[in-house]
Each structure stands twice: as structure tokens, then as C-alpha cells.
Amino acid sequence: MSESYENLTAYMPPLEREGDFEQFWENSLRELAAGERSTAYQEPGESIFDWRETDCHYPLPQVRARRVELTAPDGASLRGLYIHPVWAGPENPVPGLIRWHGYSSNHGYICEILPWALMGYAVLALDVRGQTGDSPDPRRYKTGAYAGWMTRGLDAPENYYYRLVYLDAVQAAVALSRRPETDSRLAFFGNSQGAAVSAAAAALLSRFASVFPDWPAPSALGLGTPFLSHLSLALAEQSGGPLDEFSMYFRMHDPLRRTEKQIRRLLSYFDIMNFAPWITCPALVSVALRDTACPPRAVFALINHLGGRREVCVYPDYGHERIDPHLDRLILFLTEQAPPRSRPAP
């Protein structure tokens, strides 16, 4: 192991939280919880943690697949897929899994999450609002933005795009935990943006468990080449990824970068490195050493701040791409941390 690699794996910069970081997120979660009791977008007696569903025809009798829709407190329709073993139910509940997708993608196809259901999990895959799936973002932002989602709502942390994305992820976790097919175990996984959203949801559910005791605690976390970590460094070192949107934003809105300090402060509220100490469940993290979109140093900054046990898989010859060999490791990891149930005997 070279000295440079040793330095990389030991990289642990100070957290970059603002003084009100924890209070900001507690207030945000309280806002989400209040939406369960009062929102103009729910039918009488309906909770924001209840989803509407439509069965999907799928030619495998072992599973049941459904299209689902959650309504966020601001009226956003969060749509995606839910699939579980056909025998799962109140008498035979199974662990829940939530998969979040990468930047500018969508919830995908049944075949992508089918193996998890066949293994004995109830799997939810939702769109990140506003991206290229079926879930629009109805939010009206007060400021202009460059193409994409990174620069939407830069006037205040309360208005930033990823605040609602992270709250959507918590809402989805609570909704899945209340399904009759699921037991008390819940795990999150995803690549890139999906890893960031998974990490934020796991951190918030863990940190504020005493405030919201009827919300689920995460059992395990799979983070594939996570995005949105150590943003002060990533903005300087990355190339070819979504963070390039900030360069174009400054070129078009603020060529002298007079607002850069303010924007970096705002981004610190959404930097998953700053959430890492709150993550106490076991985590599997992959790092690609040729990744220019999510620089390895930024990923190790997250890893080295994690509050629970972590397992790290380093891939020297991969960039920011799907790492097929890592899927086998993820399957082993999740089945170790949240063992699936087998079909009950007839």
C-alpha cells in the first residue's frame, strides 16, 4: 500500500456543520410529522404515510408487484414500484428495503429489484422528485437555477431542493415500515445520489429516534460511490459530474462569485459527511479510485466519520459507473445484517 493510498484512507477532515445544523433538521422533521395531521393534499383520514397502489401484471407467481404513489406534505406525488413475496403479510412479515436511484435517473424497472423480492424482502423504489421519473416537483423556487437540480433554491437552506428530497426519503421509510408485509427491519441502498439520499434518511431516523419513536430505525445501509459528500472539497476536485452545474451557475448568475461563501454554507446542511456521525447502523461503502464525479477523498471523509461499523470496498480500476462485482458483496452484506425470510411451510 503506497503512502498516498494510506493518506487517502485515513482522510478525516473536520465536520463542516453550521451551529444550527441539528436544530434545522429536527425542525424539518417536525414539519414532516405535522403533515400527517394536517395537509390540504390528503383525503380525510388519510396519512402522508399511506400510499395509493395499483397492481402490476408480472408473470412470476412468487411475487406481487404494484405501482405506488405517496403524497408529500407540499403536494408532490412520489411514484415508484413496490414488490414483495406473494406470501408476505401480517402473519409472515419480511424486512423492508428501499432503493434510491442516481442523479437524473428514475425508479427503474421491476426486473431491477426483482431479485430482492425473490430473496424474501419487500422492496420499494421511488423516484427522486423532479428528475426523469414519474414524480414531478411542484415546488416554486424563488431564484433561477442552472439546468438540473443542484442549484435550485439557493436563497436559503429551507428552500433548497435536497431538503425536500431528504424529507421524501424519511417519509418513504416510515410508509414502508407501516406496511403489513414488513417487519421491524429496514435497510437502504443506492448508488451515487441514491447513496446520499439513503445516508441522509438513515442518519435522520437514527438521530431523532427519541423524538419520533414510532418511526423506524435503520438496520443496514449500502452506499455505492456516494455523492454529496464533503462538498467543499468535492466542488474543487470533481469533474464531469452534477457539481459542474455550480460552475455554470456562477458563470451565468455571479461571475465574480460574490455569493460563493453563502452557497457553501447552505450546502453544508446537505453534505452527507456532516450526517455521518449520526449513522449508527452497519454500512457497506464502495469507493472507485478513478471516480472524478465523487472524488475518493470526499467518500473517505464520509466513511471515516460514520458512527457505526463500516465495511469498505475499494475498486482501483473503476470510475463513476456501475460496479457489477459490488452487487454480490451488497447482497451478502444485507442478508447478513437484515436476513430475509424464507417462504413459510404450507
- Assign 83 to helix, strand or coil: strand
144 burial level (CB within 10 Å; 0-12, 13-18, 19+): exposed
User: Does the annotation count 291 as an active-site position?
Assistant: yes
User: Does the annotation count 214 as an active-site position?
Assistant: no
CB 271 within 8 Å of CB 228:
yes
User: Does the annotation count 134 as an active-site position?
Assistant: no
The catalytic residue among 74, 291, 305, 326 is 291
CB 313 within 8 Å of CB 330:
no
State how far the Cα of 281 lies from the Cα of 258, in Å rounded to an integer.
40
State how far the Cα of 287 lies from the Cα of 331, in Å rounded to an integer.
17
The catalytic residue among 84, 107, 230, 320 is 320
Helix or strand run (H / E) with residue 200: helix 193-207
Name 9's Cβ contacts closer than 8 Å, sequence gap at least 6: 300, 312, 314
Cell numbers describing residue 41? 393534499
State how far the Cα of 302 lies from the Cα of 248, in Å rounded to an integer.
26
State how far the Cα of 303 lies from the Cα of 223, in Å rounded to an integer.
10
47-54: long-range contacts (C-beta < 8 A, 24 or more apart)? 48/72, 48/73, 48/171, 49/171, 49/174, 49/175, 49/178, 50/175, 50/178, 51/82, 51/175, 53/82
User: DSSP 3-state helix, strand, coil percentages of the chain (rounded to 5)?
Assistant: 35, 20, 45
The catalytic residue among 192, 198, 206, 268 is 192
Catalytic residue positions, numbered:
192, 291, 320
